[in-house]
Structure 1
Amino acid sequence: MRQNLLSIIFGLIIVTATAQQSCKCCSEDHRAFDFWEGTWTVTNPDGAIAGYSTITKIQNNCIIDENWKSASLGYTGTSHNFYNSKLDRWEQLWIDNQGGFLKLYGNRKGNQMILRSDASQNKNGNNFYQQISWTDNDDGTVRQLWEIITENEETKILFDGLYKKNN
């Protein structure tokens, strides 16, 4: 009986160790954006509902998949977010139902994930980039702030949303 019990315990230890080694996306870096997972109602600063977002991990925890639906405009979009261990950074590819797309790169700093696009030039010849930050708030909400930052100009806010988890 004791030998059987020891065999079972030893077998469980081996299975657990093997499972942990086979998880390619389970490092702390890969979990840095996990605070965004969930099913959310998103509000504007005035409290009006902006839309709904479902964020799940797919592909054995290697991708954080976002599905967005605007509250009123029929606008939808999907983002795929992943930690690129070769480049030591997070990457996002956003694609929407209007044909738009956005590629962002960055990392977590404190309680924020901060991603930005490559620089481009506007019609005035000034360089600009888009930056989106997600702040993990103490109350369980997440603030998403999307900005356009242009040299020699004021920063413009494109979106400021507060994600509140649905129960």
Structure 2
Amino acid sequence: MTLIALALAALVQTTPVDCTDADHRAFDFWIGDWTVTAVASGTVVADSRIESVAGGCAIQETYHQTVGPGGTPTDYRGHSYSAFDATDGVWRQFYVDSNGSVSAFAGEAVDGAMVLIVDRGEVRQRMTVAPAGNGAVRQTGEVSRDGGRTWSTGYEFLYRPR
């Protein structure tokens, strides 16, 4: 057996994590089939499916945007996996899109919302996903170009059950 195979076998044989606790369930409000609307224009821009995977230990997103900024047609697609990392007590999200962009967010649940940040030095991206009432979820994307001292909103979406 190779060294890599031994290391993988050791990982598989570790004691399973119980993913039913409050930390692991903090992002469950986002699970569903959604119609996504840009808050500023009221235009339906995308569909998104968020589902529980890996025995309830992760959330998988499949996002398909058909209307871009200014109402222009687009075929933008994004996929993510989000999970609570019990080792260091933070939520992590790995996101990749059809433009070839890759983002590794980290964050936490704050007052019922999930706040995830990508730190690229002076430029930071912050995504806040929060219940918005009537079964809807609001997602706000912000950017900071001064290391997190000030933030400007890049987008705001409302996810409604499809």
TM superposition score category, shorter chain reference:
0.7 to 0.9
| 1:98 pairs with 2:99 | yes
Q: Which has the higher strand share?
A: 2
TM-score, length of structure 1 as denominator length: 0.78
Q: 1:146 aligns with which of 141, 156, 162?
A: 141
| 1:37 pairs with 2:23 | no
1:24 CA displacement: 2.4
Q: Distance in 1 between matches of 2:19 and 2:130?
A: 22
| 1:27 pairs with 2:28 | no
1:62 CA displacement: 1.0
Q: Is the 8 A contact 2:26 2:112 kept in 1?
A: no
1:23 CA displacement: 6.5
Structure 1: 5+ residue stretches without partners: 1-21, 121-126
Q: What SS class does the counterpart of residue 133 from structure 2 fall into?
A: coil
| Count of aligned pairs | 140
The aligned counterpart of 1:156 is 152
TM-score, length of structure 2 as denominator length: 0.80
Q: Distance in 2 between matches of 1:77 and 1:26?
A: 27
Q: Is the 8 A contact 1:23 1:60 kept in 2?
A: no
Structure 2: 5+ residue stretches without partners: 1-15, 68-73
1:154 CA displacement: 5.5
Amino acid at match of 2:97: D
| Percent of aligned pairs with the same amino acid | 28
Q: Distance in 1 between matches of 2:45 and 2:58?
A: 25
The aligned counterpart of 1:89 is 90
| Structure-2 change in CA distance of 1:154 and 1:87 (3 Å) | closer
Q: Distance in 1 between matches of 2:136 and 2:120?
A: 30
1:158 CA displacement: 2.1
Amino acid at match of 1:76: R
Greater C-alpha radius of gyration: 1
